[in-house]
A and B are shown apart, each in its own frame.
Chain A
Amino acid sequence: MIDKIMIAFKSIGKNKNRNFLTMLGIIIGIACVIAILAVGDGFTKTMTKGMGTHNDKGRVTISFEASSYDDVTSGFTKNDISTLERVSGVGHVKLDSSNTAATAKIQYKTKQESTDLNKAPKHLKLYKGVGTTIDKSDMSNIFISHDLASRIFKGESALNKPLIIEGNVFIVRGIYKVSDFNYRPDIYVSKDVFKQLFANQITKNIARIYVQPNVNKKAVGKRAVKQMKKFGEDKQMGSYSVSNPDQISKTFTKMMNYITYFVALVAGISLLIAGIGVMNVMYITVSERRKEIGIRRAFGATSNDIRSQFLIESVVLCVIGGLIGIIFGYVLVAIINAFLPFKAIVTGYSLAISLSVSTAVGLIFGFIPSNKAAQSPLVGLLKEE
């Protein structure tokens, strides 16, 4: 075995250029596998971390789903809070919204559209304009996103232009950029304006119930939903249910599956092409070394010895390619990390997968050429020069 591995290294070394080109396919394939698995693993880690906070101990979440999409105003009310707080086992209740922004119709000259809107955050980095937040004193000031500015104002500068939102005139005082990975609405208005005009849009459709210590929160959640179905103020407008963390992980698993299929596809295609390259180079090697095969056979090598020698050579070739691919994979991950909102991580498991995949490619695509080498008739081989 060690002998054969040494022979493999030796003959691979004899044709460095040719073999390196063959390995290139494997290197690229494995680097992709490493990178995509790292993104997948990093994503999983970030998501599970996020789910951990969502799924805090001692807290159960009840959500309201309106039966009609047009009716956005229904949800939990102040009276519902007291109803919920009377349920046994409940500590206190907080209302929240799953909607992060309100929607509004906007108009500039003849151009109209519907867009997301929210109250301005305390601190916002402006791309154009002065200041970091909207001055309370001037209620007509708004900030808009760069995207919206170029959509609505086309070539013109949007700064200090009037914009009509739901019939009220506002002045654009600042423009901000939105990165691809962070959600921001297209318009920020001042806190007071938002409260007056749009707050009712952000329906309180989530009730977070903080249960008393040593109480089964699942049972509390069930009782709370039962109470809401009876006494909820908007019970006619929709339905109440306990938010199931399993449901979140189900959609999450589904998403992860798609990512996995994508990995399989990319890896599969690149490694298939790489494998064909390996097969080709092994065929060439076998026909170039007919004399060597003949000599080895005459001096005691069985056809199995010959088969395993070429098979080992094919595997060694692929594993070297795989190892180089892993190094390139690390580089690729470092580059990807510069652009990702979360951190892609290379795990031991993805290294193991990469190495087993490259071994498998070597075995599968080396098999037919190795068999050809093993089954060549001996007398013919010894006539070779």
Chain B
Amino acid sequence: MLKISNVGKSYGQFKVLQDIDLEVADGEFLAIMGPSGSGKSTLINILGLLDQDYTGEYLLNDKSYKDTSDNFLSRIRGDQLGFVFQNFKLLTTYNVYENIEIPLVYSKTEQHNKLERVEAVIEQVGLAGKEKSRPSELSGGQQQRVAIARAIVNRPKLIIADEPTGALDTKTSKEIMDIFTKLNQAGTTIIMVTHDEEVAQYAMRTVYIRDGKLYHDAKDVFKND
């Protein structure tokens, strides 16, 4: 699915990421763990083609998008990627249906297909009947389901989730992780950032990040201290 080698990023003298090498196979469910300020979000922004300002090489499906135009990148994001954020990032003035519909607006989906696709994902995340509700009328778990529905409505190959359970209690976290597991079983590659050990257990593989360096084995994390 994707491969990054020797990726780094720095703000002036401060190195946020150094020499990151990571490969994610098709259909994999990868967890990236690390404390806050470790560079997790920066890494995930690069992986999600949201941040093009980095050194090193990043291949998504064997293609580098480093020198691609901003407009083309937007299309790639819309067609191939789905994002789930910690704080849901729903539009508060839009109802559930309208929030989920957003990616379809930009993928030029026909109007009658839109309705069908949105209804299908609403069903899939277990929110049937909530189409007209505003995000403010929903619980945290329900809001995150809306966010997941929005991420999968364009049927992306890769879902990038940044602390998807960060704002949820353990019971709700479990429900959300069950949805992710199902999506992964259906063939979607998932990369998830978390600092919760329990949540990371749902992934097939976990990598660790600390002070901008990536470790493939938990044993190595504190080796250099």
With A14-B93, A295-B89, A379-B45 in contact, do A300 and B103 touch (Cβ < 8 Å)?
Answer: yes
In this complex, how many residues of chain B approach chain A with their Cβ under 8 Å: the count is 24
Closest to B114 in A: A3
B50 close to A302 (CB less than 8 A): no
Contact, CB under 8 Å: B51 / A300: no
Query: Which of B71, B83, B87 makes the CB contact (< 8 A) with A302?
Result: B71
Contact B91 A379 (CB under 8 A): no
Q: In the complex, are the beta carbons of A303 and B71 less than 8 A apart?
A: yes
Q: Using Cβ atoms and an 8 Å threshold, which residues of chain B touch A320?
A: none
CB-CB nearest in chain B for A309: B105
CB contacts under 8 Å to A, within B132-164, are: 150, 154
Cα(A305)–Cα(B106), bound, Å: 8
User: In whole angstroms, what is the CA distance A10 to B105 when docked?
Assistant: 15
Q: How far is the CA of A298 from the CA of B79 in the complex (A)?
A: 11
**Which residues of chain A are within 8 angstroms of B85 by Cβ–Cβ distance?**
382
CB of B217 to closest CB in A, whole Å: 30
Which residues A326-364 have CB closer than 8 A to chain B? none
Q: Which of B45, B48, B74, B150 contacts A305 (CB 8 A)?
A: B74
Mark contacts of A286-324 with chain B using CB atoms, 8 A cut-off: 1 yes-contact digit, 0 otherwise: 000001101111111111110000000000000000000
| Chain A contacts for B195, CB-based, 8 A | none
CB neighbours of B93 from chain A (8 A)? 10-11, 14
User: Using a Cβ cutoff of 8 Å, how many contacts connect chains A and B?
Assistant: 61
Q: Does A385 contact B (CB under 8 A)?
A: yes
Q: Smallest CB-CB separation from B72: which chain A residue?
A: A302
Does any Cβ of B come within 8 Å of A378's Cβ?
yes
B-chain residues with CB within 8 Å of residue A382 when the two chains form the complex: 45, 50, 85, 89
Bound complex: CA A266 to CA B78 (Å): 48
B77 partner residues in chain A, CB cutoff 8 A: 297-300
A302 & B74 in contact (Cβ 8 Å cutoff): yes
Indicate if the CB atoms of A301 and B91 lie closer than 8 Å.
no
Give Cα distance in the complex from A300 to B85, angstroms.
16
B67-94 to A contact mask, C-beta < 8 Å, 1/0: 0001100110111000101010101010
Is B102 at the interface (CB under 8 A from chain A)? yes
B107 touches A300 (CB 8 A): yes
Instruction: Given A299-B77, A302-B75, A304-B71, decide whether A292 and B91 contact each other with a Cβ distance below 8 A.
Output: yes
Would A301 and B106 count as touching, CB distance under 8 A?
Answer: yes
Partner of B74, one of A10, A291, A297: A297
Q: Give, as a whole number of angstroms, the nearest-CB distance from B146 to chain A.
A: 12
Tell me whether B50 and A300 are in contact (CB under 8 A).
no
Further pairs besides A295-B89, A297-B77, A382-B45: 8, Cβ < 8 Å: A299-B78, A299-B106, A300-B79, A300-B103, A302-B70, A378-B50, A379-B45, A382-B50
Q: List 7 A-B contacts (CB under 8 A).
A: A299-B103, A300-B106, A303-B70, A378-B50, A379-B45, A379-B50, A382-B50
Residues in chain A within 8 A of chain B (CB atoms): 3, 10-11, 14, 291-292, 294-305, 378-379, 382, 385
10 closest A-B pairs by beta carbon, nearest first, are A300-B78, A300-B106, A302-B74, A299-B103, A302-B71, A3-B105, A301-B106, A379-B51, A298-B83, A378-B50
